[in-house]
Structure 1
Amino acid sequence: MKKTKYVLVGAGDRGREMFAKPLADEWREAADFVGICDPNPVRAQFVSKECGGVPCYEDFDRMLGETEPDFVIVTTPDSLHHDYIIKAMEAGCNVISEKPMTTDVEKCRAILDAERRTGKKVIVTFNCRFDPYIVRIKQLLAEGTIGDILSVQMQWSLDTRHGADYFRRWHSSMAMSGGLLVHKSTHHFDMVNWWLDDEPEHVYADGGRYFYGPVREQRGERCLTCSYTDSCEFYMDIMKDRFKREFYVSGEPFDGYVRDKCVFSEEIDIYDTMSLSVKYGRGALLSYSLNAYSPYEGWKVTLVGTQGSLEAQATSDPLIDAGSHRFIHVFNQRKEHMTVKMKKVTGAHGGSDGLLRKMLFEQGGADPLRQMAGSWEGAMSLLIGASANLSIAERRRVDVKDQLI
């Protein structure tokens, strides 16, 4: 049986853990991992060594020409996704893109146009669609458990470990990531789009930066050279961690990428506090909020339909989400209450990463819940975030799909 050939562009930690190492190990019988492209030779060679010596390239076109892959996996910084996605399709390859598919309307339009022009396809890796807890919610909604959904309230909190990390690295630049409403919330918007089986119509949003950025005088350029390491609760000793030292610090001379930037830097221009309202095509309303400085990490959702409501939550705090199970609560109009009790699943992102890879790399299997997302699903999620950014900047309602015309 002929193996499917894959190459990876973007040798960051997500590309390394989610794709490179699994391709070289658990999926080596079905997949032929033939190339890694990254302008930073330290990171590219680090990943190559972990994967048994996969050839490294600094030139993307050369890699495509020499390896002739079936799929290009794109895990670069978000603002560069469109370049590699489009080049890959024009070279005759299908694409697997890390979320978000891209960062703004113009780049999204260019990807959709290239997909139509070339006949190749883009897969966007929304691992939330494979989380067993989130999948069970989808099943309950698809069965009509609460009738036609009219209202969704979703609250998402990032704690001061995970949340702060977005403000240390390239994600803190709106130009590179689209901000958290694109980079992070695209997961959450896709969940709601998938649960509702509907598409967004228009968006209102507001947001600000209140906790991170230049809110204190005692700050430096980065943790490594900061004068306030003894007093700052956000100090990260990048030299103490062998992986960060070898993967990031050793690579700095080649591209200047600093992994331990000060979370109070004046250069930060993304929001840390956001809220928005989305109107869907069939009338449902979504109220969504995200903050990046909560004492604990997790999410809560309430969906209300014509025949009842569904409530779910998941957090990483054992004081709130203790025990070995998670619960989904369903209430109907007769005041009856049903509880679905689910055992917690281990593994990266609640076991979803491994389940996503299984569907990706086995290929051709059944997909009754439409968990595999394509370019249009990628567009509908990122455009909620991009529209929210525009709404915040211009203080107006933004029509989502009108921007693609």
Structure 2
Amino acid sequence: MTRRYGIVGLGHRAQLYLDALAGDWSDAGTVVALCDTNHTRMSYYDTGLRLYDAADFPEMLAGIDALIVTTVDATHADYVVTALDAGVDVIVEKPLTTTEEGCARIAGAAARSSARLIVTFNYRYSPRNSAVREVLASGRIGQVTAVHFEWLLDTIHGADYFRRWHREHDKSGGLLVHKSTHHFDLVNWWLDSSPATVFAQAGLRFYGPDGAGVGSGPFDLDLTRDPRLKALYLDAQHEDGYIRNRDVFSDGVTIDDTMSVLVRYANQAVLTYSLTAYAPREGYRVAFSGTRGRLDLEVSERAWCSPDAAIDPTAGKNAEETYERLTVQEHWKPAEEIVIKQGVGGHGGGDALLLDDVFRGAGTDPLARQAGWRDGIRSVLTGVAADRSARSGHPVRFIADGLALRND
């Protein structure tokens, strides 16, 4: 029997799932219902599907087998819990939720429900990140003792978090939750461990009305140049007042753009992590120190760009400066570069692997890439703990195998 899917939240991200179920994954199910708080935006997708106002969400659940959640982060918990309690399977975009309270609610609903919950951590499926997991599992560098992880968001991608609703902490949880949940999940998965203690420092240094970046360049995004973005946001803003292209240097920014985090894991490994949201290039470096050697991954996703890249990702992109390099060096041996096998499609073929797991089932995966609610909670709480530590100046400790925070 073909599964019936509903989608709640019809911003840009919903398109991935609509395209998948109308295309290569049409054998696995079909989208039958859509739900959003904005009727103008919902009408953009009106192709004969059943449309539901957010107030009628429970009614929508009665006609579907599985729910896809792509709403504003802070609303995830409400939709997830309601669906699980109705016995409806849930596929939810990261982050699973944004608060400690939301994590507890979801954990309770998952424990009492027979329905399944999948968190779509697509970074796990990227070939380079999967290759890291394979090398670590092989034991070539021995037991991992320390991880250094630096992530750079450029002035196209990074700035976009300060134009839209993510700039408001109560909606996104801040970048330590919204964005870093990806990175914390990767480390949890790479190490096969859970966080035990977090200490962090953070601040708003570049964006906002008093940021160091004021007057530093062209940051405006012209939504009229992209018909789809215009229809989803500019044409819909009269209904609810949501402005997709706010000035990144205006008042109202309540999230940080410069973050440093120290995490100790249950297996005693230590992570040093940083996120910068205004770099001139996009990419990341992660290094693992182990008892038998070292593993390094360096990725340059976009070496330089023009302001037009906000609409056209290829604008100003220099292919010669875009690369990924994975090297392993065991003690007393020369360094060896590991070949990263690429697939077809987004994220080096990783998106297709993720969608296979979501819509057809994970099957036997030695890398255990499909993520459930426990993975989602551990990654969210790492960000929540880091945010709390940065504001209080004190370390934050975990209990319950990384599924709750100690409040003392």
TM-score by length of 2: 0.90
Q: 1:326 touches 1:343 (CA, 8 Å); kept in 2?
A: no
How far 1:241 moved relative to its partner?
Answer: 2.2
- CA–CA separation in structure 2 for the residues paired with 1:154 and 1:382: 17
Could you tell me which residue of structure 1 aligns to residue 257 of structure 2? 272
Could you tell me which residue of structure 2 aligns to residue 241 of structure 1? 226
Could you tell me which residue of structure 2 aligns to residue 193 of structure 1? 188
- CA–CA separation in structure 1 for the residues paired with 2:343 and 2:22: 24
Q: 1:325 touches 1:341 (CA, 8 Å); kept in 2?
A: no
How far 1:297 moved relative to its partner?
Answer: 0.3
In the superposition, relative to structure 1, how do residues 145 and 360 fare at CA in structure 2: closer, same or farther (>3 Å)?
same
- CA–CA separation in structure 1 for the residues paired with 2:234 and 2:77: 28
In the superposition, relative to structure 1, how do residues 345 and 321 fare at CA in structure 2: closer, same or farther (>3 Å)?
farther
In the superposition, relative to structure 1, how do residues 43 and 26 fare at CA in structure 2: closer, same or farther (>3 Å)?
farther
The answer on 1:40 being equivalent to 2:38 is: yes
How many residue pairs align between the two structures?
388
Q: In structure 2, the residue corresponding to 1:261 is in which secondary structure?
A: coil
Query: 1:208-223 counterparts in 2 under 5 A?
Result: 208-215=203-210
Could you tell me which residue of structure 2 aligns to residue 15 of structure 1? 14
Could you tell me which residue of structure 2 aligns to residue 224 of structure 1? none
Q: 2:206 touches 2:212 (CA, 8 Å); kept in 1?
A: no
Could you tell me which residue of structure 2 aligns to residue 379 of structure 1? 377
Q: In structure 2, the residue corresponding to 1:85 is in which secondary structure?
A: helix
Could you tell me which residue of structure 1 aligns to residue 61 of structure 2? 64
- Give the gaps of 5 or more residues in structure 1: 220-227
Could you tell me which residue of structure 1 aligns to residue 90 of structure 2? 95
- CA–CA separation in structure 1 for the residues paired with 2:119 and 2:152: 24
- Which residue identity lines up with residue 61 of structure 1 in the other structure? P
Equivalent of residue 237 in structure 2, options 240, 252, 268? 252
- CA–CA separation in structure 2 for the residues paired with 1:365 and 1:343: 21
- CA–CA separation in structure 1 for the residues paired with 2:399 and 2:319: 38
Q: In structure 2, the residue corresponding to 1:316 is in which secondary structure?
A: strand
Could you tell me which residue of structure 2 aligns to residue 295 of structure 1? 280
Could you tell me which residue of structure 2 aligns to residue 114 of structure 1? 109
How far 1:34 moved relative to its partner?
Answer: 1.1
Q: 2:196 touches 2:265 (CA, 8 Å); kept in 1?
A: yes
Deviates more, 1:175-184 or 1:312-321: 312-321
Q: 1:20 touches 1:47 (CA, 8 Å); kept in 2?
A: no
- Which residue identity lines up with residue 67 of structure 2 in the other structure? V
- CA–CA separation in structure 2 for the residues paired with 1:194 and 1:30: 27
- CA–CA separation in structure 2 for the residues paired with 1:42 and 1:88: 25
Equivalent of residue 146 in structure 2, options 134, 147, 151? 151
> 1:284-328 CA deviation, whole Å, 9 max, x = no partner?
000000000000000001100000000011112358983786321
Q: 2:205 touches 2:212 (CA, 8 Å); kept in 1?
A: no
Q: 1:97 touches 1:123 (CA, 8 Å); kept in 2?
A: yes
- CA–CA separation in structure 2 for the residues paired with 1:354 and 1:344: 12
> 1:121-157 CA deviation, whole Å, 9 max, x = no partner?
2110000110011101100100111000000000000
- CA–CA separation in structure 2 for the residues paired with 1:174 and 1:350: 32
Equivalent of residue 198 in structure 2, options 203, 220, 230? 203
- Give the gaps of 5 or more residues in structure 2: 305-317
Could you tell me which residue of structure 2 aligns to residue 309 of structure 1? 294
Q: 1:299 touches 1:313 (CA, 8 Å); kept in 2?
A: yes
Q: 1:149 touches 1:304 (CA, 8 Å); kept in 2?
A: yes
How far 1:344 moved relative to its partner?
Answer: 4.9
TM-score by length of 1: 0.91
Query: 1:319-338 counterparts in 2 under 5 A?
Result: 322=320, 326-338=324-336
How far 1:257 moved relative to its partner?
Answer: 0.9
Could you tell me which residue of structure 2 aligns to residue 223 of structure 1? none
- CA–CA separation in structure 2 for the residues paired with 1:322 and 1:200: 38
Could you tell me which residue of structure 1 aligns to residue 349 of structure 2? 351
> 1:35-64 CA deviation, whole Å, 9 max, x = no partner?
111011122221233xxx322111211211
- CA–CA separation in structure 2 for the residues paired with 1:154 and 1:217: 25
How far 1:217 moved relative to its partner?
Answer: 11
Q: In structure 2, the residue corresponding to 1:168 is in which secondary structure?
A: coil
- CA–CA separation in structure 1 for the residues paired with 2:323 and 2:220: 34
- CA–CA separation in structure 2 for the residues paired with 1:176 and 1:349: 27
Identity across matched positions, percent:
41
- CA–CA separation in structure 2 for the residues paired with 1:207 and 1:198: 25
In the superposition, relative to structure 1, how do residues 155 and 232 fare at CA in structure 2: closer, same or farther (>3 Å)?
closer
Q: In structure 1, the residue corresponding to 2:288 is in which secondary structure?
A: strand
- Which residue identity lines up with residue 327 of structure 1 in the other structure? R
Could you tell me which residue of structure 2 aligns to residue 135 of structure 1? 130
How far 1:345 moved relative to its partner?
Answer: 4.7
> 1:371-394 CA deviation, whole Å, 9 max, x = no partner?
000000001111100000100111
In the superposition, relative to structure 1, how do residues 193 and 300 fare at CA in structure 2: closer, same or farther (>3 Å)?
same
The answer on 1:3 being equivalent to 2:7 is: no
Deviates more, 1:296-305 or 1:318-327: 318-327
Could you tell me which residue of structure 1 aligns to residue 366 of structure 2? 368
In the superposition, relative to structure 1, how do residues 202 and 217 fare at CA in structure 2: closer, same or farther (>3 Å)?
closer
In the superposition, relative to structure 1, how do residues 399 and 243 fare at CA in structure 2: closer, same or farther (>3 Å)?
same
Q: Which runs of 4+ in 1 moved over 6 A?
A: 216-219
Q: 1:11 touches 1:76 (CA, 8 Å); kept in 2?
A: yes
Q: In structure 2, the residue corresponding to 1:201 is in which secondary structure?
A: strand
Deviates more, 1:258-267 or 1:37-46: 37-46
How far 1:342 moved relative to its partner?
Answer: 2.4
Q: 1:326 touches 1:341 (CA, 8 Å); kept in 2?
A: no
Q: 2:396 touches 2:405 (CA, 8 Å); kept in 1?
A: no
Deviates more, 1:69-78 or 1:331-340: 331-340
How far 1:235 moved relative to its partner?
Answer: 1.6
- CA–CA separation in structure 2 for the residues paired with 1:99 and 1:217: 30
Equivalent of residue 266 in structure 2, options 281, 284, 296? 281
